[in-house]
Amino acid sequence: MFKVTIDGKTIEVQEGTTVLDAAKMLDIPIPTLCHHPKLTPFGGCRLCIVEIKGIPRPVTSCTTPVSDGMEVTTSNPYIEDLRKTVLELILSDHPNDCMVCEKAGDCTLQELAYFYGIRENRFEGERRIYTKRDGNPFIERDLEKCIMCGRCVKVCDEVEGVGAIDFGYRGFSSKICTPFGKDLNCEFCGQCVAVCPTGALTGKMWKQKGRQKDIKEIETTCPYCGCGCSLTLHVRRNEVIKITSREDTLNEGWLCVKGRFSYSFINSPDRLTKPLIRIAPKDQSNPPLPPFVKGGRGGINNSLLVTRYSSLFREASWDEAVDYIAKRLKTLKDKYGPDAIAGLSSARCTNEENYLFQKFMRAGIGTNNIDHCARY
Amino acid sequence: MQKNNLKKVIVRVCIGTGGLAAGGKEVIDAFKKEISDRCIDIDLDFTCHYQKVGCRGFCARDVLVDVVDGDKSLTYQCIKPEMAARIVDEHLIGGKPVKEWLIDDTYYAFHAKQKKILLKDCGTIDPEDINAYIDVGGYSGIKKVLSEMNPEDVISEIKASGLRGRGGAGFPTGLKWEICRKTPGDTKYIICNADEGDPGAFMDRSIIEGNPHSVIEGMMIAGYAVGSDHGYVYIRAEYPFAVERLRLAISQAHERGYLGKNIFGSNFGFDIKVKLGAGAFVCGEETALIASIEGQRGMPRAKPPFPVHHGLWGKPTVINNVETLSNIPYIIRNGAQWYASIGTEKSKGTKVFALTGKVKNTGLIEVPMGITLREIIYDIGGGIIGDREFKAVQTGGPSGGCIPAEMLDIPVDYESLAQVGSIVGSGGMVVLDETDCMVNIARFFLEFTQAESCGKCVPCRIGTKRLLEILDRITKGLGREGDIELLQKLSSDIKAASLCGLGQTAPNPVLSTIRYFREEYEAHIRDKKCPAKVCRDLLTYYIIEEFCKGCGACLRACPSGAITGEKKKLHKINPDICIKCGACFEVCKFKAVGRE
Amino acid sequence: MAGLATVFGSGAMTNSITEIEDNDVLFVIGSNTTETHPIIGLKMKKAVRKGARLIVADPRRIDLVRFAHLWLRQRPGTDIALLNAMMHVILAEGLEDKRFIEEWTEGYDEFRKTLNEYTPEFAEKLSGVPKDDIVRAARLYASAEKAGIYYTMGITQHSMGTNNVFAIANLALLTGNLGKENSGVNPLRGQNNVQGATDMGCIPDVYPGYQKVHIPAIKDKFERAWERKLSDRPGLTATEMTEAAIEGRIKAMYIMGENPVMSDPYMNHTIKALKGLDFLVVQDIFMTETAELADVVLPAASFAEKDGTFTNTERKVQRVGKAVNPPGEARDDLRIITELSNRMGYLMHYNTPEDVLHEIGSLWPAMAGMDYRRLEKTGLQWPCPTKDHPGTPYLFKGGFPRGKGAFTPVTAIPSKELPDREYPYVLSTGRVLFHYHTGTMTRRSEALNKVIPEAYVEINPEDAMAIGIKDSERIRVSSRRGSIEIKAMLTDRAGRGMVFIPFHFREAAANVLTNDALDPYCKIPELKVCAVRIERI
């Protein structure tokens, strides 16, 4: 254990702890931009600089491990002045469009600019201008808002193990890019979007759907594979507009392309909204499968479906539909016995629903013919 | 044709950086051709051997050719291929040297105040033959170390010698080794930093090309002292010739058993790998260099932890530059006492500089620490070209500063140069005269560092860009009141907040030029004038009526058609069309074009 | 699951997902983890970064191979030969955990004899894995302090799937890699609540909590709780239902949230069965391929529109929260079932989904300690018998439910349908990262469809060259059961002699081709091996 004194407060920490983490334990705030607790330290934004007794120049607290007896000053006029210069420099190369930015209200840079009261900027000059030209359907990249914190690069390498992006070029022209400017092997997990502190990386489908302030967040569990990742559904006006995940969960805030981006089925116009009762005779009921719209728009062609279904089914009220089912099942059960009826329940439904379903089949119908798709 | 008892004549040609550029290879070919042409007609009474040797320093007089006949050696200067025939006829066959082509007094003067340790063998021994190095005492250092000294002895010897890192920062080499030795760990690395990126610097390149084995021996001794059996040489791919020499030297050392396991029958083993860098300036920074060897983008990492604790692949690592390591065998061979007797109290030994700029004798020099700048520029360098007025000397490359005339008598050592706002650096030394604009010089270096910034940290990536933009507008006559103060403030913030040495030193040229040449900045900003008449946007060209003969030379030279005038009559420059290229100024024989 | 239940007395992942990152050795067999379980894949990558050794056994060059220290490319359907040979090596080199075998297992002596013939040389002949690699894998796995085995359908979807699981269990028992943190046998469940559906008794022979329907005492307990006479005859599995429907023994089916037309093997057979029913009810959120055949279709709520719980692959029960209202008149399944049941004269009344959870807890002690308040934060892993029980991250600490772990000798037998002159290629089916199961949800995502818009067949470039197929060319793949047209993707992900088709795509449905041969124990169909022919069109 090392003893370290930060702003006059002393704490004992494990060897290898960084000054930033030690300060966090003491609840001493240090501004950061490129730091992310789940990624290796970077030390690029220079905002977390502190003074350490015996070291001639300021050092970044996120990269500096504590040593025994270390004395740290996290804030004084000199340090704050340097931080302000750094922030002004970043903002001198940042589009001033918080008004329409997707990230406004949830942006670390905006937050820092506010706390440091940066109205005027001593520095002005060229801004990097990039034309957007990416065709991927998930991630909106706005390189002009990129502050080169490297979080996306590191999450892609260290967490996802893909390494689809890295720093490229040098000097003022350096930027985050894919090898040779192509979208190679990206899994669109959106981890980079999750860790981006500014509006440089956002979800394409979040665009103009609502900003953080009027969003209701609901915790739930992912409906896809068996990992059981925690999801936070962002809801505005009865619509799920975005999915994120908290960091203190089983999945540590990481999601895959399905969990993070594939929620549009909830609001799909194809959703069934009314009970349907067959009108077409059974033997006609297997018309050729509808053509799929290839490449791009994807999914099923709605107009085709509607006409086809109306020839197969008619809409009914719940009352009529349930009544009809109850009657038919009872008749068949009376005629052939309960074991002539079988039920398939679903791995997509909740435990409660599954329990009730099998209870209904076993006690209500009287058969053990109940299964689900565990084997596929 | 070959007879056994013929005497042996050696033609030794410099093909170092300067020699190669001046046509060293062609000179060798010319000699070979001339000799073989003669063979057809006459029986020569000698056999001719050719040696390609490394840089001898005086690049202004390249190509330098030695003719060694027994124990007599004569040196020719400024040799071109077509001159080979006469030397062959008159000297080699006729026995009479071509006197007017031999080196002159200036050549001797160039060397008089130098103290050659590292460069002594450079340019005399054959770098492609390990025996040549062994003949002059090579590998006796490592032999001595392995048979007589334990690692701690080696470290204390290096510490006693007072050797400090020649890469720029001047950290005591022995201390670095000691810290690394004491850091626990089974695997440790020695890295030789040969990523010489300063524009105009070629010290390390010359050493590797001229005497590669001294670097290898230095690394081996370092490895023994630190407890490492593995070394890397990180060298830029733009040095293909050095890479080739180095690889050859390593393979020769392997063949001899000097590298590998159980060197000289001891338990010590050492091996060296060569890693090529892609020519990023920032990869000279040690942590970026480590990242590059690891296969990452060459971006610096924060220190601490320092490489001696947590270096390559996370293992304790010593990084020394070429010149530092090349010193080691000589220190071991001749003793720490000997080395410490050279130089000043805190800066020991010699330092190699690449002397360039507006000085008459440009080249590679090795001087004892503590020599004054005046001695270097006037005695070794022979003064300013055209005997113009000396203005400043820029030391330490893009990270260094400019030292003005009034400080010419300060001694060259780490502390003294730091005191006046510059650094020794890796050894670049650019001499500036009255025709150099100091704002423009600062802008030039900033342009370089900005373009070479890795982009990782904000102050360096954006800060140097803003510095450059301010300098740019000043040289364009768009400077504003307060720009100087803004430059100073931003510079000092960049120095304080940047991640690595590149950013921490990038503003040095700006700060030192403001410090010593503030009035030049003010002239640009307030009077919109460039006193050195360099900044194009601040110049106007005009015809001086009383000198103009109406010859029409300027009219023909003008690329933009800004000059009008009939033959034998006064010409005129239209300032609206003039693009200020200066072509008329250069071409006028009558000094009738004025510039202001 | 039946396999593990036989060996240990309980069938589920023995360890937690979070334990993965601290394993010394991970043995991933028959699981394309990074695509089918991306977040578990991340944990595996993290483990490798932290120094763990990764062994991957898979016929395809899956993405995880990039991170593996050893990749065993067995031929599809030859896992037993591979696993038995590894155990042969472990015994030959004395790497078994003798104390563990002594203390915690039974049937060892009989079992060890059966391994004699499985020399690495023999296994190389059967599986195609070089014998040195088998030896290396055996040493690596056996010498680890904390070794975990991870598998999915690549192991189970075979006609000898249960035997495959036995072999895996044997390997773990032999080396004592069980009952400890970071050590165990971990089947990764493929769907969000497949664990839960199984736990809840949605399988024909058990009530909730794996309580056998044929044991009178248990039946009595449920009859008392549910106030009805119950049948003690185990019911039919899904695949058997299809058969029974065709034979006319099943007259009506009620399908809630399933799409057997797409997910079951031998699609034409399934359609025929469902069409032959007297009455079919399908309850779903979309008009699925199955719903099209229904007499009544009921609109249900999606996961975002209801409250409840899911149980993930590590037995962790987690909350599902209602975020939005269902569209139109769609209702959550709970309400639909309750109403139907009441209409049929079996009265059900629950105020909230949580009431249902409490009823579950009263009948299955493993979930008795759970309530929504406790689950709110991070969920709980069963068994969690009391309100103050913290849940169980790993199973079998200090013993197996059935007493001792049982060694089960298994022999390598070939798959039911092997390639021949007429159908010379082996077809495996599975999932891709960008789609899910029958595609009902993901294929309605424009974005996902943009990345992978259509079905494809992975085929080894050398095989393709032999047939004269170019990349992206449309080709025909046929089996004895049907034929589809599909785009060819030339990639060395597929080994020589095998092809792979994801089964998400209705327009080129892989299950038209697959074989409905079943594993005799747990009735899982052989979706990973059938013989196909490939032709240019």
Tens digits of residue pLDDT in B250-289: 999 999 999 999 999 899 999 999 999 988 899 989 999 9
Residue pair B594/B542 in contact (Cβ under 8 Å)? The answer is yes
Is A107 within a domain?
no
Is C394 within a domain?
no
| Nearest-angstrom CA–CA distance, C442 and C449 | 8
Residue pair A217/A163 in contact (Cβ under 8 Å)? The answer is no
Which uninterrupted H or E stretch holds B462? none
Question: How many other CB atoms sit within 10 Å of the CB of residue B481?
Answer: 9
Confidence label for C226 from pLDDT (cuts 50, 70 and 90): very high
A75 at interface of B, judged by CB pairs closer than 8 A: no
Residues A236 and A284 reside in one and the same domain: no
Would you call B302 and A45 a contact, using CB atoms and an 8 Å cutoff?
no
Q: For every one of its 596 residues, what pLDDT tens digit does chain B have, with 9 covering 90 and above?
A: 444 567 888 899 988 878 888 898 999 999 999 888 888 777 777 888 888 888 888 888 889 999 988 888 899 999 999 999 999 888 888 888 999 999 988 888 888 899 999 998 888 888 989 999 999 999 999 999 999 999 999 999 999 999 999 987 789 999 999 999 999 999 999 999 999 888 888 899 999 999 999 999 999 999 999 999 999 999 999 999 899 999 999 999 999 999 999 999 899 999 999 999 988 899 989 999 999 999 999 999 988 889 999 999 999 999 999 999 999 999 999 999 999 999 999 999 999 999 999 999 999 999 999 999 999 999 999 999 989 999 999 998 888 899 999 999 999 999 999 999 888 888 889 999 999 999 999 999 999 999 999 999 999 999 999 999 999 999 999 999 999 999 999 999 999 999 999 999 999 999 999 999 999 999 999 999 999 999 988 988 999 998 999 899 999 999 999 999 988 889 999 989 999 888 999 899 998 998 88
- Is there contact between B and C if contact means ≥3 C-beta pairs under 8 Å? no
Contacts of B486 (CB under 8 A, 6+ apart): A122, B470
Residues A336 and A363 reside in one and the same domain: yes
Residues C359 and C228 reside in one and the same domain: yes
User: Last residue of some domain: C381, C397, C413?
Assistant: C381
Is A33 within a domain?
yes
pLDDT of residue C297: 95
Domains and CATH numbers, chain B: 7-103 (3.40.30.10), 120-340 (3.40.50.11540), 350-433 (3.10.20.600), 438-527 (1.20.1440.230), 540-595 (3.30.70.20)
Give yes or no for residue C11 having a pLDDT over 90. no
- Mode of pairing for the β-strands spanning C252-256 and A341-344: parallel
| Nearest-angstrom CA–CA distance, A236 and A317 | 29
Length of chain B: 596
Residue in this structure with the two tokens 């006829």, named with its chain if needed: B89
Residues C163 and C237 reside in one and the same domain: no
Is C492 within a domain?
yes
Is C523 within a domain?
yes
Sign of CA dihedral B480, B481, B486, B488: positive
Sign of CA dihedral B584, B587, B589, B595: positive
Is A142 within a domain?
no
Would you call A172 and B458 a contact, using CB atoms and an 8 Å cutoff?
no
Sign of CA dihedral A351, A357, A359, A361: negative
Would you call A326 and C344 a contact, using CB atoms and an 8 Å cutoff?
yes
Contacts by B183-188 with C-beta closer than 8 Å and gap 24+? Answer: B183/B308, B183/B309, B183/B316, B185/B315, B185/B316, B187/B228, B187/B230, B187/B313, B187/B315, B188/B226, B188/B227, B188/B228, B188/B230, B188/B315, B188/B316, B188/B317, B188/B318
Range of the domain at A333: 320-376
| Nearest-angstrom CA–CA distance, C497 and B246 | 50
Confidence label for A376 from pLDDT (cuts 50, 70 and 90): low
Whether a cis peptide bond, with omega within 30° of 0, leads into A288 is no
Residues A8 and A59 reside in one and the same domain: yes
Confidence label for A299 from pLDDT (cuts 50, 70 and 90): very low
**Using CB atoms, which chains have 3+ pairs under 8 A with C?**
A
Would you call B466 and A85 a contact, using CB atoms and an 8 Å cutoff?
no
CATH of the domain at C82: 3.40.228.10
Confidence label for A320 from pLDDT (cuts 50, 70 and 90): very high
The count of structural domains within chain C is 3
Question: How many other CB atoms sit within 10 Å of the CB of residue C365?
Answer: 14
Name which of C165, C247, C380, C448 to mutate to probe chain A: the one with the most chain A Cβ atoms within 10 A of its Cβ: C448
The 10s digit of each residue's pLDDT in C493-527 is 998 999 999 988 877 788 888 888 888 877 788 88
Residues C344 and C430 reside in one and the same domain: no
Confidence label for A267 from pLDDT (cuts 50, 70 and 90): confident
Please provide residue B249's backbone torsions phi and psi, each rounded to the nearest 5 degrees. -60, -40
CATH of the domain at C449: 2.40.40.20
Residues C130 and C270 reside in one and the same domain: no
> Which residues 298-327 of B are in CB contact (within 8 Å) with A?
299, 301-302, 304-305
Contacts of A327 (CB under 8 A, 6+ apart): none
Is A110 within a domain?
no
The 10s digit of each residue's pLDDT in A66-85 is 999 999 999 999 999 999 99
Give yes or no for residue C96 having a pLDDT over 80. yes
- Weakest mean pLDDT among A350-364, C133-147, C407-421: C407-421
Confidence label for C450 from pLDDT (cuts 50, 70 and 90): confident
Question: How many other CB atoms sit within 10 Å of the CB of residue B37?
Answer: 11
Q: What is the DSSP letter of A157?
A: I
CATH of the domain at A60: 3.10.20.740
The count of structural domains within chain A is 4
Percent of chain C whose predicted confidence (pLDDT) is above 90: 62
**Token couple for A48:** 């977390």
Please give the distance of CA C362 from its chain centroid, rounded to a whole number.
28
B291 at interface of A, judged by CB pairs closer than 8 A: no
**Token couple for B146:** 């392995």
Residues C104 and C202 reside in one and the same domain: no
| Nearest-angstrom CA–CA distance, B235 and B197 | 10
A58 at interface of B, judged by CB pairs closer than 8 A: yes
User: Last residue of some domain: C188, C210, C238?
Assistant: C188
Of the CA atoms within 13 Å of residue C396, those in its CB half-sphere come to 34
Residue pair A290/A300 in contact (Cβ under 8 Å)? The answer is yes
Residue in this structure with the two tokens 């020099």, named with its chain if needed: B365
Please provide residue A54's backbone torsions phi and psi, each rounded to the nearest 5 degrees. 100, -10
Which uninterrupted H or E stretch holds B496? helix B483-497
Please give the distance of CA A72 from its chain centroid, rounded to a whole number.
36
Is A171 within a domain?
no
Whether a cis peptide bond, with omega within 30° of 0, leads into B308 is no
Residues A16 and A71 reside in one and the same domain: yes
Residues A20 and A31 reside in one and the same domain: yes
pLDDT of residue B46: 83
Contacts of B37 (CB under 8 A, 6+ apart): none
Residue pair B550/B569 in contact (Cβ under 8 Å)? The answer is yes
Residue pair B139/B313 in contact (Cβ under 8 Å)? The answer is no
Is C389 within a domain?
no
Is A195 within a domain?
no
Angle at B106 between CA B101 and CA B107, to 5 degrees: 65
Q: Which residue of C has its CA nearest to A290?
A: C507
Confidence label for A373 from pLDDT (cuts 50, 70 and 90): confident
Residues A310 and A277 reside in one and the same domain: yes
Is A218 within a domain?
yes
Please provide residue B74's backbone torsions phi and psi, each rounded to the nearest 5 degrees. -120, 145
- ipTM for the complex? 0.89
Is A232 within a domain?
yes
Residue pair C267/C429 in contact (Cβ under 8 Å)? The answer is no
- Mode of pairing for the β-strands spanning B271-277 and B230-236: parallel
CB nearest C192 (choices: A204, A228, A371): A228
Question: How many other CB atoms sit within 10 Å of the CB of residue C525?
Answer: 27
CATH of the domain at A222: 2.20.25.90
User: Last residue of some domain: A301, A316, A331?
Assistant: A316
**Token couple for C404:** 């001792």
Contacts of A269 (CB under 8 A, 6+ apart): A302
Residues C202 and C111 reside in one and the same domain: no
pLDDT of residue C244: 94
Residues C183 and C219 reside in one and the same domain: no
- C106 has which bridge partners? C406
Percent of chain C whose predicted confidence (pLDDT) is above 70: 98
Is C478 within a domain?
yes
Q: How many CB pairs under 8 A join A and C?
A: 503
Residues A239 and A301 reside in one and the same domain: no
Residues C367 and C487 reside in one and the same domain: no
Confidence label for C422 from pLDDT (cuts 50, 70 and 90): very high
Contacts of B440 (CB under 8 A, 6+ apart): B475, B530, B532, B534, B535
Residues A302 and A356 reside in one and the same domain: no
Range of the domain at C286: 194-381
User: Last residue of some domain: C152, C173, C188?
Assistant: C188
A170 at interface of B, judged by CB pairs closer than 8 A: yes
Confidence label for A296 from pLDDT (cuts 50, 70 and 90): very low
Residue pair B249/B213 in contact (Cβ under 8 Å)? The answer is yes
pLDDT of residue C534: 93
Give yes or no for residue A291 having a pLDDT over 50. no
**Token couple for B3:** 């007879």
Residue in this structure with the two tokens 């092809």, named with its chain if needed: C499
Residue pair B142/B263 in contact (Cβ under 8 Å)? The answer is yes
Give yes or no for residue C1 having a pLDDT over 60. no
Is C352 within a domain?
yes
Residues C110 and C130 reside in one and the same domain: yes
Residue pair B550/B567 in contact (Cβ under 8 Å)? The answer is yes
Is C234 within a domain?
yes
Residues C175 and C281 reside in one and the same domain: no
Name which of A118, A124, A172, A174 to mutate to probe chain B: the one with the most chain B Cβ atoms within 10 A of its Cβ: A172
Name which of A15, A46, A79, A169 to mutate to probe chain B: the one with the most chain B Cβ atoms within 10 A of its Cβ: A46
Is C296 within a domain?
yes
Residues C159 and C14 reside in one and the same domain: yes
